Chain A
Amino acid sequence: MPNRSIQKALAMLALALVMSACGGSTPTPEKLQTPVFHAAGNPGLLSDWNIAHIEDSVLVLNENVLPFDLNSPLFTDYAHKLRTVWMPEGVSANYTQNDALDFPVGTIISKTFYYPRLEGDTRDSLAVVRTDDYGRDYKNTGLDLAGLDLANVRLMETRIIAHREEGWIALPYVWNEAQTEAVLKRAGDLKNLNLVNAADGVHTPFPYIIPNSNQCAGCHGTNSNTREIKPIGPKARHLNKNYAYADGIQNQLAKFTKAGYLTGLPPMGEVAKTANWQDMTLSLQERARGYLDINCAHCHSTVGPADTSGLHLEPSTKYGSYLGVCKVSVSAGAGTGGFLYDIDPGHADTSIIPFRMNSIDPGIMMPELGRSTIHAEGVALINAWITQLDGNCGDPQTGN
């Protein structure tokens, strides 16, 4: 389990936070660091939100900032992600079954994108490591920014979504080269990086794209009619996983509840659970549907921005044409790859979905945003799933 050390590290942090929240220990006042919720305006610096601070070249989460993880994460060019949630005192999220948890006004959710650096590289190196190993990312309780000769990371951006009276706002902050501060870049940005495959040492240059604020809404405006911005990851089914906290393995939803961040959690038996797409003990079907859920369904839902396509990849979509099975494309353009069906059962090599996942051409690729590289392992999963599907799409001339 490559994530163990990050989890331990964060767990220690979380424990410390819980203890301090419970009055179990009293940190010295000058060390108390509490997030600052901005009810209006667009704070220019990430530090204005005060969700973390840098101490001896370590990025440390501030008081009551709770890290979390998802069963299956969105793929973003192999970036590692540190997700956090914070709420002001006296409020908590209400449990919801399908949508994101009903977070109260005042909630700040952050997602920091970073990469492990290549061992021994200088800070100005554009090389970042493609690896699932989080083991070297952390020092004690925080992200290790310096790490002498090992384990240092390159911070790319921190995305904040915060719940204001008038709704959620989404703001992208881009970390400076010195890794001391992240600056608001509402128009987005582009950073050229060099992805180094830890396994074979192959270098792949790619443009790491920081979305503009509207593009944040492009994914987070999950209902294309209201266009209201909402968190995507922190849904009960995605959060429903164990996390190795220092005080023992614990379910994240239970932890949220204990921390006072969640009310109304039903018995765990009633809470859905997205498959971890990497969990080989689960069926291909579960893993593939879990992957499609977190990577696609925020747009490809019955109310999402991609409802124009008639392709709905939510977990509730039944196996059939709305899931893409034998479904012809509506407006895919170059995205068809010359193929007729989104999913051609038994034939991954003639199915549109893996074709589009396997492209980095902006006119072809899916998702449209958020990646400049191919998620080879994700493509392999969807290919494997489609390959073992039965059925055939009939004769296009007769429809029979």
Chain B
Amino acid sequence: MFAKGLIQSTGIARLGLGVTLGLGCVGMLLTGCNGAEQAHDPAIIDASYQEILQTQLLDAKPGDVIIIPEGVFSFDRSLSLTVDGVTIRGAGMDKSILSFKGQVAGAEGLLVTASDFTIENLAIEDTKGDALKINNGNNIIIRGVRTEWTGGPKTSNGAYGIYPVQTTNVLMEGNVAIGASDAGIYVGQSKNVIMRGNRAEYNVAGIEVENTINADVYDNIAIHNTGGILVFNMPNLSQEGRNTRVYNNKIYDNNTKNFAHKGTAVASVPAGTGVAINSNDFVEVFNNEIRDNKTANIIVSSVYSTNYSSSDMGDGYDAYPEGIYIYDNTLGGGGTSPDGLELKALKLAMFGIGGALPDVLWDGYADTDKTVDGVMPANLRICVNNGDAGVLNADGPNGFKKPHMATEDHQCDLPKLPAVVLESAQ
């Protein structure tokens, strides 16, 4: 199928290369066989590949594997795929590089609206909008993909790195995301998701699970983001998320100044956030190593303490985080220098100059319609059973007037969530 794709593409014919190309030295297309290093020289970036690849994507049939050769390829417009059952495979996330530095049109680098889709071992760089968006598909595998804005964290960077939305049965593993002005590795409005073995750095949100049902997030590294791993529910959407497990991750030093565009949900994330759970329900955070996040290692909050709530958030939107279970994490070094004047003042007042906010910061919003005699039903509580980790109730509902330690109130346990079962992850 690979050979067929090459033969069909006129650009290859122009280069005068033979049918046997598909068998071995694909890199030769651009740079000669030993050309991996040369290929990174922008002077020989190949622009003619744009039409070749887009035509391959148009001509793809279910079952096809489209090979991206080694090299740096430049694109000035979005790529898109709409055929089910296609695999796009590069030679490695540092070898097959799709560069959108000169992009003039299109809201993403590659837009996929298809099911049974696999993309692996390539990089998408410097897109104007999102790097890789997958909208509305089932059985998606994103593996070994790097999305990066190469100029470092900047507000002008595109929003999302890897961005499946309204998808079902999604495996995201071994990916790297750097520099997204929203979320690096993201899944939204989806069902049945595993995110594992990924690395996210210098994004606003390293890894984010939003309005998603049944997600397992494990063995990831989130460092130098504004917030390491976020589990959010946004209003006005057709699906509210629940059942997310965040475990065995390393979540360090997420202290990069928030460079999101004001008005986005993640713009409200304070720099120095390890894990943030916002308005989501049934979230389990355990066995993670979370340290040196200077606002708090873990934040549990409602949309009401962010800057993006509104009077009309859609029918029946549940703004409160409920059924949150935090246990057995290794926590340390957090809360030493929180972001924002209020939190700085709070820290100073309660814990002194040399002190630190406790590991878990809760904004204090709870749904009083659900409480019985002032007490939440057991399954909807926020439980922190994590050694000596302290919990601070920031008293948001009363204008943050009387913040207080509430560690004892949250000493409880919840039933554990089942693991996500995903065939592609077996």
A residues contacting B by CB (< 8 A) are 186-188, 190, 207, 209, 212-215, 217-218, 221, 224-225, 227, 305, 307-308, 310, 320-322, 325-341, 352, 361-365, 368-369, 372, 393-394, 396-400
**With A308-B166, A333-B158, A333-B160: A362-B305 Cβ-Cβ less than 8 Å:** no
B76, CB-defined interface residue at 8 Å: yes
Whether A331 pairs with B238 at a CB distance below 8 angstroms is no
Please, how many angstroms separate the alpha-carbon atoms of A305 and B302 in the complex?
28
Whether A340 pairs with B159 at a CB distance below 8 angstroms is no
Size range of the chain B interface in the assembly: 35 or more
Tell me how far the C-beta of A23 lies from the nearest C-beta in chain B, rounded to whole angstroms: 43
Q: Mark B302-344, 1 if CB is under 8 A from A, else 0.
A: 0111111111111000010000000000000000000000000
**With A363-B129, A368-B106: A310-B237 Cβ-Cβ less than 8 Å:** yes
Whether A325 pairs with B312 at a CB distance below 8 angstroms is yes
Residues of A within 8 A of B307 (CB): 340, 396
B410, CB-defined interface residue at 8 Å: no
Whether B314 pairs with A321 at a CB distance below 8 angstroms is yes
B188, CB-defined interface residue at 8 Å: yes
Contact of A333 among B166, B181, B312 (CB under 8 A): B181
Contact of B313 among A225, A361, A399 (CB under 8 A): A399
Whether B312 pairs with A320 at a CB distance below 8 angstroms is yes
Q: Mark B369-398, 1 if CB is under 8 A from A, else 0.
A: 000000000000000000000000000000
* CB-defined A-B contacts under 8 Å, sample of 10: A212-B58, A218-B80, A221-B113, A330-B237, A332-B261, A334-B261, A335-B159, A361-B128, A394-B311, A396-B306
Whether B236 pairs with A363 at a CB distance below 8 angstroms is no
Whether A209 pairs with B105 at a CB distance below 8 angstroms is yes
**With A321-B236, A336-B264, A396-B307: A372-B312 Cβ-Cβ less than 8 Å:** no
Question: Can you add 7 more A-B contacts, CB < 8 Å, to A212-B77, A338-B263, A362-B103?
Answer: A217-B82, A224-B166, A308-B189, A328-B313, A333-B182, A372-B105, A394-B311
Whether B310 pairs with A399 at a CB distance below 8 angstroms is yes
Please, how many angstroms separate the alpha-carbon atoms of A334 and B155 in the complex?
8
Tell me how far the C-beta of B85 lies from the nearest C-beta in chain A, rounded to whole angstroms: 14
Q: Mark B181-195, 1 if CB is under 8 A from A, else 0.
A: 110000011000000
Please, how many angstroms separate the alpha-carbon atoms of A305 and B107 in the complex?
13
Contact of B82 among A214, A307, A337 (CB under 8 A): A214
**With A310-B314, A328-B236, A394-B310: A336-B304 Cβ-Cβ less than 8 Å:** no
Residues of A within 8 A of B128 (CB): 361-363
Secondary structure class of chain A's binding surface, majority of residues: loop
Tell me how far the C-beta of A344 lies from the nearest C-beta in chain B, rounded to whole angstroms: 10
Please, how many angstroms separate the alpha-carbon atoms of A224 and B128 in the complex?
24
Whether B235 pairs with A328 at a CB distance below 8 angstroms is yes
Chain A residue at smallest Cβ distance from B82: A214
Residues of A within 8 A of B238 (CB): 307, 310
Please, how many angstroms separate the alpha-carbon atoms of A339 and B107 in the complex?
19
Residues of A within 8 A of B263 (CB): 328-329, 332, 336-340, 352
Whether A186 pairs with B55 at a CB distance below 8 angstroms is yes
Please, how many angstroms separate the alpha-carbon atoms of A331 and B161 in the complex?
12
**With A224-B136, A224-B166, A362-B107: A327-B312 Cβ-Cβ less than 8 Å:** yes
Whether A186 pairs with B58 at a CB distance below 8 angstroms is yes
